Structure 1
Amino acid sequence: MDVAEFEALMMQVLIGGLVLFMAFIVYDLAKKSNAGKWGTFVLFGALGLGVLGFLIKTFIVEIIL
């Protein structure tokens, strides 16, 4: 495994870990602020849109290159 393959693999693994950590933070924020079902949905929706944007950007870059 060369350096470029290792970097590509670690990028995916570490970004996945970061997304899971952010999901935990959002869950904890919703619980501590008593956001309710709708508020929790909105918080996770915003996080989901950010992750979706990152995935779409990655997909488009792969198609272009």
Structure 2
Amino acid sequence: MMWGFTEEQISNFGMTFGIGAFILYMLFIIGQLAWESKAGKFGTFVMFLGLAFGFVGFAAKYLIQYFMDIK
């Protein structure tokens, strides 16, 4: 136990909020790349689609768990 939390609680927090924060930071990086490269609307859309599409699976996992009541 660390500060009254179990390993499972710390791991669960890291897998939800830690990775979620990391994904938001990566979206910021993609937006910054689009801005600096002057990609335009379509180029920015393609960058977000190509680079950020994997994040959908991460979010879908938690939605599926929530609706199926899986822990």
| TM-score bracket for this pair, using the shorter chain length | 0.7 to 0.9
What is the TM-score normalised by the length of structure 2? 0.70
**Equivalent in the alignment of 2:49:** 45
5+ residue gaps, structure 1, are none
Q: Cα deviation per residue 1:11-65 (whole Å; 9 max; x = unaligned)?
A: 2111111111101110110001010000111111121x11012344x45xx67x9
**Where has structure 1 moved over 4 Å in runs of 4 or more?**
none
**Among candidates 23, 29, 53, match of residue 27 of structure 2:** 23
**Equivalent in the alignment of 1:4:** 8
Task: Identify, as 1 or 2, the structure richer in helix.
Answer: 1
Q: Work out the percentage of aligned pairs sharing the same amino acid.
A: 35
Q: Distance in 2 between matches of 1:5 and 1:45?
A: 33
What is the TM-score normalised by the length of structure 1? 0.75
Instruction: Between the two structures, name the one with larger relative contact order (CA 8 Å, sep ≥ 6).
Output: 1
5+ residue gaps, structure 2, are none
Aligned length: 63
Task: Select the structure of larger CA radius of gyration.
Answer: 2
